[in-house]
């Protein structure tokens, strides 16, 4: 039924377009969003390059429309208001012509670049569905079958993920000279294991300037540069922080200079951070008297929420916070996800990043030279 409704909507839109005066520079986006929660609500269109709000529309009878004059193809980003269950969004290419998109099914069609993008997305969706199906099958195995089932899943996952990478590389190679190359490069960044600055620069080296110079791509390059500069083996970067106990601005070096320091980037609202805190507390209890300095570095948070969690979880080790609502320090260290647990040696060299409960103690013992 939904497919029939969508086809009828396309037919009506085509008829309307045929009856209207032709404008070769107009990109019309005819959207479908059948969700009662969003009926009568607004949906927004942004320019993906600089996140500028371009337009808004009201969803009526499950449909909405945007129309914009475009001098050259660019990436549009459609996003709804948040409901109790979800927020819908869809990327599409703003090029002359009429584009049709369904924000529930993620279908997209109508112009050459959008057709190509949806073909690639459909390949991805199919491969992702195969992985999910294999994972579900493995989860249903009995304890006696678990080892064989997990081995089979690993084999299936490896094969499908290789197909996933291949279709993404092919998509990039076919579109590295047009705006679709931006979305292709971003996806390639995600699927390439250990995507270093050198590797990513190699990927985009032969792409057109429209791809290489796109803000999102330059942001990825900048992030990789930051990660390279703060990787294990590099000296830590001194930054200003806020002492949560005194309220004074201090340099990070005040707390870690000449010491083996475990730094936990966390926030009060972050569930995984709260799960990691007991493990950090354990390291503080076991090694705090043996030369380990433990520091909680609160980011993307408020002082009130930070203090509430510190008190409730009895976080008695050093507590500091970013001086700019969590953006300066996290940007300096390329922290996009938390918790991020980092170990710095007494010589100021970063020993490890991305530590967890399985790797933390071993790294600490080695840095403290404890047998």
pLDDT tens across 33-82, in order? 998 889 999 999 999 999 999 999 999 999 999 999 998 999 999 999 88
Q: Is 298 exposed, middle or buried (0-12, 13-18, 19+ CB in 10 A)?
A: buried
| pLDDT band with cut points at 50, 70 and 90 for residue 348 | very high
Q: Is the pLDDT of residue 363 over 60?
A: yes
Q: What is the mean pLDDT of residues 275-296?
A: 94
pLDDT value, residue 94: 97
Nearest to 214 by CA among 29, 48, 85: 48
| Residue 222 placed within a domain | yes
Nearest to 253 by CA among 280, 293, 288: 293
Is residue 266 located within the same domain as residue 348? yes
- We report the CATH number of the domain holding residue 361 as 3.40.30.10
Give the domain range for residue 40: 2-108
Is residue 187 located within the same domain as residue 101? no
Is residue 145 located within the same domain as residue 188? yes
pLDDT value, residue 332: 92
Helix (H) or strand (E) segment spanning residue 63: strand 63-69
Is residue 246 located within the same domain as residue 362? yes
In the predicted model, what is the mean pLDDT of the chain?
89
| Residue 344 placed within a domain | yes
Is residue 102 located within the same domain as residue 118? no
| pLDDT band with cut points at 50, 70 and 90 for residue 324 | low
| Residue 234 placed within a domain | no
Is residue 292 located within the same domain as residue 356? yes
pLDDT value, residue 14: 45
Nearest to 138 by CA among 125, 127, 128, 147: 147
From the CB of residue 361, how many other CB atoms can be counted at a distance below 10 Å? 16
Listed residues 80, 108, 136: the one ending a domain: 108
Domain count, the chain: 3
| Residue 174 placed within a domain | yes
Q: What is the mean pLDDT of residues 127-140?
A: 90
Listed residues 78, 108, 138: the one ending a domain: 108
Is residue 308 located within the same domain as residue 285? yes
| Residue 257 placed within a domain | yes
Is residue 104 located within the same domain as residue 119? no
Q: Answer with the residue of higher pLDDT: 82 or 210.
A: 210
Nearest to 264 by CA among 286, 234, 284: 284
Q: Is the pLDDT of residue 291 over 70?
A: yes
Query: pTM for the full model?
Result: 0.76
From the CB of residue 175, how many other CB atoms can be counted at a distance below 10 Å? 22
pLDDT value, residue 325: 56
Is residue 122 located within the same domain as residue 60? no
pLDDT digits (tens, 9 = 90+) for 214-258: 999 999 999 899 999 999 999 999 999 999 888 899 999 999 999
pLDDT value, residue 21: 43
- We report the CATH number of the domain holding residue 34 as 2.60.40.10
Is residue 262 located within the same domain as residue 349? yes
Q: Is the pLDDT of residue 5 over 60?
A: no
Q: Answer with the residue of higher pLDDT: 9 or 296.
A: 296
Listed residues 229, 262, 290: the one ending a domain: 229
DSSP codes of every residue in 242-299: EETTT--EEETHHHHTTSEEEEEEE-TT-HHHHHHHHHHHHHHHHHGGGTEEEEEEE-
| Residue 336 placed within a domain | yes
Is residue 266 located within the same domain as residue 173? no
Is residue 208 located within the same domain as residue 261? no
Q: What is the mean pLDDT of residues 293-311?
A: 91
| Residue 308 placed within a domain | yes
| Residue 235 placed within a domain | no
């Amino acid at each position: 039924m939904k497919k029939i409704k969508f086809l009828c909507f396309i037919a009506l839109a085509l008829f309307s377009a045929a009856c209207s005066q032709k404008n070769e520079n107009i990109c019309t986006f005819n959207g479908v969003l059948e969700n009662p929660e969003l009926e009568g609500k607004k949906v927004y269109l942004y320019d993906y390059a600089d996140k500028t709000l371009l337009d808004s529309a009201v969803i009526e009878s499950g449909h909405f429309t945007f129309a914009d004059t475009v001098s050259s193809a660019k990436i549009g980003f459609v996003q709804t208001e948040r409901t109790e269950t979800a927020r819908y969004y869809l990327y599409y290419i703003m090029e002359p012509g009429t584009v049709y998109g369904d924000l529930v099914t993620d279908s997209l069609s109508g112009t050459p670049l959008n057709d190509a993008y949806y073909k690639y997305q459909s390949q991805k969706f199919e491969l992702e569905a195969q992985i999910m199906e294999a994972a579900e099958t493995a989860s249903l195995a009995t304890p006696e079958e678990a080892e064989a089932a997990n081995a089979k899943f690993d084999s299936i996952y490896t094969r499908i993920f290789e197909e996933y990478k291949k279709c993404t590389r092919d998509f990039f190679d076919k579109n590295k000279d047009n705006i679709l190359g931006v979305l292709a490069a971003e996806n390639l960044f995600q699927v390439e294991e250990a995507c270093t600055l050198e590797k990513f620069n190699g990927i985009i080296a032969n792409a057109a300037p429209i791809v290489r110079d796109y803000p999102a791509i330059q942001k990825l390059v900048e992030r990789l540069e930051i990660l390279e500069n703060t990787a294990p083996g590099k000296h830590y970067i001194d930054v200003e922080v806020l002492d949560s106990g005194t309220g004074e601005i201090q340099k990070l070096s005040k707390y870690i200079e000449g010491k083996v320091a475990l730094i936990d980037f966390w926030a009060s609202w972050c569930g995984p951070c709260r799960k990691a805190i007991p493990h950090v507390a354990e390291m503080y209890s076991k090694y705090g008297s043996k030369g380990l300095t433990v520091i909680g570095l609160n980011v993307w948070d408020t002082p009130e929420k930070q203090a509430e969690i510190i008190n409730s979880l009895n976080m008695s080790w050093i507590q500091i916070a970013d001086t700019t609502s969590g953006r300066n320090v996290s940007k300096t260290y390329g922290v996009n996800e938390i918790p991020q647990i980092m170990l710095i040696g007494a010589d100021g060299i970063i020993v490890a990043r991305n530590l967890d409960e399985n790797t933390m103690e071993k790294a600490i013992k080695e840095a403290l030279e404890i047998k």
